[in-house]
A and B are shown apart, each in its own frame.
Chain A
């Protein structure tokens, strides 16, 4: 193969041009194309599945919360734990109306994630015994421009049946 042959040289040059353009595109593309945050709920072994189905009143349930930051800058995140019914679940725009029971905070750099082992108390009144409740975990983010916590629109919930605490 003669590299100086016009056709061979043209093909080689075309490959080099395409490679060069692709490399330039990699350099000029923004660091974060689609910014996002994520929250995940895992079991007490920090794995997906085998979540508790029944809990006792006053029990501390061990679960794992997974947080992920791909917003392009460091984030201060807060997970608000609430208990409610299926009617109290948050939406993409509004948090649950139920009062916060506990909160967990983490600060993550861009591209980082964390898995936190947490104990959440089942603080419900006797009226919920025998009923199904939702353990709600809402992700809130500290807005550095507005200087306040804002609901991210992301949440997880786990339905559990509440049982009366066993007599010791």
Chain B
């Protein structure tokens, strides 16, 4: 009888500790992924969708049930794979962003120069076109 009680206590304890460790493990994985996502965000990469996914995972972790932990783990794994892809693409994304930014700056800087050279020409062109059918009378 005593042996049976001890065995059941041991099983209960091991189940509880397994659940507890799995919560800790999922939380640790969550934090690791969050750190990667935050660092990518700091570099200027758009991680909004990943942050929202992590938000869902955090709520599931807080629920603490086995089912919710499994769902949280699946979300974290998905975010992890997305982070891997983004990390690989990060230099290209940053380069393209910088290129786009400098092209916009160059285009904006060219506006006054273009205005200086083109406005008189455009004005004269329009002036002549409007007066194309005009007849000069003496």
Contact, CB under 8 Å: A24 / B115: no
Residue B85 at the chain A interface, CB threshold 8 Å: no
Q: Which of A28, A107, A108 has the most CB of B within 10 A?
A: A107
Which residues of chain A are within 8 angstroms of B52 by Cβ–Cβ distance? 109
Q: Which of A73, A75, A106 has the most CB of B within 10 A?
A: A73
CB under 8 Å from chain B, chain A span 99-113: 105-110, 112
> Which secondary structure dominates where chain A touches chain B?
mixed
Contact of B108 among A27, A108, A147 (CB under 8 A): A27
How many interface contacts (CB-CB < 8 Å) are there between A and B? 76
Which residues of chain B are within 8 angstroms of A107 by Cβ–Cβ distance? 34, 51, 54-55, 58
Which residues of chain A are within 8 angstroms of B5 by Cβ–Cβ distance? none
Size bracket of the B interface:
20 to 34
Which residues of chain B are within 8 angstroms of A108 by Cβ–Cβ distance? 51, 55
**A73-B38, A74-B34, A75-B38 are contacts. A13–B116 as well, Cβ < 8 Å?**
yes
Q: Mark A residues whose CB is within 8 Å of B.
A: 3-4, 9, 12-13, 16-17, 19-20, 23-24, 27-28, 31, 72-76, 105-110, 112, 142, 144, 147
Q: Mark B residues whose CB is within 8 Å of A.
A: 31, 34-35, 37-39, 41-42, 44, 47-48, 51-52, 54-55, 58, 62, 101, 104-105, 108-109, 111-112, 115-116, 119-120, 123-124
